[in-house]
Amino acid sequence: MRRLVLVLLLGVAIYFAIQGGEYSTTDLFRQRTRGHMLRARIDSLGTAVDSLQKLKRRLATDVALQERVAREVNGMVRGDKELVYRFTDTAVVRVERK
């Protein structure tokens, strides 16, 4: 009986050494995995920031890009030579701009 209690206590001590404390071994593995995921996300966001900075520089200096964005985003046209067609659910509306 005494031997059984000693083995049981030894088993509990080993389990506590592996899983006990503030963070268990499984928590540490989860944190490690989450750390890898967060580093990958940071790298991805860094790439996105770099490409947006390049676009910002191009928008500040490239006149052709500025014109393209003005046409696509704001619906602007060049002089009397162009028309903007806007499609709605019910009908086609012709809008002329100068």
Beta-carbon contacts of residue 97 (< 8 Å; ≥ 6 apart):
75, 76, 77, 84
Cβ 25 vs Cβ 19: under 8 Å: yes
Nearest to 79 by CA among 65, 97, 67: 97
Phi, psi of 68 (to 5 degrees): -60, -45
Each of the 98 residues of the chain gets a pLDDT tens digit; together they read: 889 889 999 988 888 887 777 778 888 889 999 999 999 999 999 999 999 999 999 999 999 999 888 888 877 777 777 777 777 766 555 666 54
Q: Is the pTM of this model over 0.85?
A: no
Rounded CA separation 64/30 (Å):
50
